[in-house]
């Protein structure tokens, strides 16, 4: 059986965590990255050239997939290196400038990312969700004397850092086309993942582009939502795990998932999360995936094991489906994912197999 195709959607540190885990598995991997960043180096580059794709999240995804040989490590360190000092280059990562330069030389951001992927010896492909820059607009309460008053704020940084309560977000331009290669990757995928990451500014934007949202509805792939370990100050402060799913549903009412993956310790009332997931058509996997040191990040090995279990059920279902085709061409196997208890929670934490500490999959060419 050929390797399963996995497409992971997101941006920033959440996407970096997913890619760091997924690269340990024997899958064909594609990252689809948000392009609405307007802070730091990316924001400065956008102000200098409003048509440029913000490269920061794209650079981080490439770094997560970089080769582990000496050359790959060198290029990863170089791409992530920030210029010091007080001049015009100060604060810019080398990789941001390289990506912008490649896009100008090649005239195509996808070609630029593919070229950078070859340079770093990446074990997967990195694509933008759109080939032009986007802006996030949020509707926020709690910024005025009237706590119910709604104000519109524009920009990823403004939404992420607001002291108010984010109620909803939209994208500008609202009718921006998605990257064609990203749409094709979702169409061809066996598994599509969404999250973790900044919920309103890195995760939800993928559901707000009409053709990208449509591709997520139409794909034959299983859909996995990975929840954050904790609410994020500003964007989701005070949110419960199930509230993250409610927000997702309110922004994309037609979206359906197959599995919701969450850290056991991050879910104080599992039954509430189970109910919220069921409204998406999903069951819940509760697994210990947090960094054991207590740092606010996912442990890559534990997350890889949890993702491998999801993929294992997918492989089993596909094999059963093939075996269950009877002579009349009807699938009568009655397959069902194993490990789901009566409450809709998959909490069988004893699944283990060796997860390689380094990538051994074919580099992107």
- pLDDT score, position 323: 65
- pLDDT score, position 336: 38
- pLDDT score, position 294: 85
The encoded tokens of residue 10 equal: 């997101």
- pLDDT score, position 321: 72
- pLDDT score, position 344: 59
CATH 3.60.21.10 fits 4-131+177-326+336-346, yes or no: no
CA 339 to each of CA 62, 200, 274, 279, 311: distance values in angstroms, whole numbers, following the listed order: 34, 31, 15, 20, 13
- pLDDT score, position 245: 97
CA 313 to each of CA 40, 145, 197, 222, 257: distance values in angstroms, whole numbers, following the listed order: 41, 52, 25, 11, 15
Quote the CA–CA distance of 94 and 79 in Å, as a whole number: 5
Q: Where are the domains of the chain?
A: 4-131+177-326+336-346
- pLDDT score, position 339: 46
pTM of the model: 0.90
- pLDDT score, position 334: 36
Over pLDDT 70: what percentage of the chain?
88
If we measure between CA atoms, which residue out of 86, 96, 103, 98 comes closest to residue 40? 96
Low-confidence stretches of the chain (pLDDT < 50) are 326-340, 342, 348-353, 356-365
Average pLDDT of every residue of the chain: 90
């Amino acid at each position: 059986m050929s390797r399963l195709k996995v497409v992971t959607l997101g941006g920033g540190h959440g996407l970096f965590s997913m890619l760091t885990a997924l690269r340990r598995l024997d899958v064909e991997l594609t990252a689809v990255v948000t392009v609405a960043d307007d802070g730091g180096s990316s924001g400065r580059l956008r102000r200098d050239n409003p048509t440029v794709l913000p490269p920061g999240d794209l650079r981080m995804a490439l770094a997560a997939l970089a080769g582990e040989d000496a050359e790959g490590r060198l290029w990863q360190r170089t791409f992530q290196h920030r210029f010091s000092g007080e001049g015009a280059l100060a604060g810019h990562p080398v990789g941001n400038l390289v990506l912008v330069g490649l896009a100008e030389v090649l005239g195509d951001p996808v070609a630029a990312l593919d070229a950078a992927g070859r340079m770093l010896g990446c074990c997967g492909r990195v694509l933008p969700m759109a080939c032009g820059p986007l802006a996030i607009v949020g509707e926020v309460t709690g910024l005025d004397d009237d706590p119910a008053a709604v104000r519109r704020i524009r920009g990823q940084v403004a939404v992420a850092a607001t002291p108010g309560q984010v109620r909803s977000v939209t994208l500008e331009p609202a009718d921006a086309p998605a990257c064609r290669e990203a749409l094709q990757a979702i169409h061809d995928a066996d598994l599509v993942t969404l999250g973790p990451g900044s919920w309103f500014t890195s995760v939800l934007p993928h559901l707000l582009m009409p053709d990208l949202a449509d591709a997520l509805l139409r794909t034959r792939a299983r859909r996995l939502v990975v929840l954050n370990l904790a609410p994020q100050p500003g964007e989701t402060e005070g949110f419960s795990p199930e509230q993250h799913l409610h927000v997702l549903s309110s922004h994309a009412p037609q979206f359906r998932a197959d599995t919701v993956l969450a850290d056991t310790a991050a879910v104080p009332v599992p039954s509430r999360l189970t109910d919220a997931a069921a409204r998406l058509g999903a069951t819940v996997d509760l697994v210990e995936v947090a960094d054991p040191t207590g740092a606010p990040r996912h442990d890559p090995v534990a997350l890889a094991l949890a993702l491998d279990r999801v993929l294992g059920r997918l492989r089993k279902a596909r094999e059963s489906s093939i075996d269950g085709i009877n002579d009349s061409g009807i699938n009568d196997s009655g397959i069902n994912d194993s490990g789901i208890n009566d409450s809709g929670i998959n909490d069988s934490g004893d699944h283990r197999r060796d997860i390689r500490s380094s990538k051994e999959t074919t580099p992107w060419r």
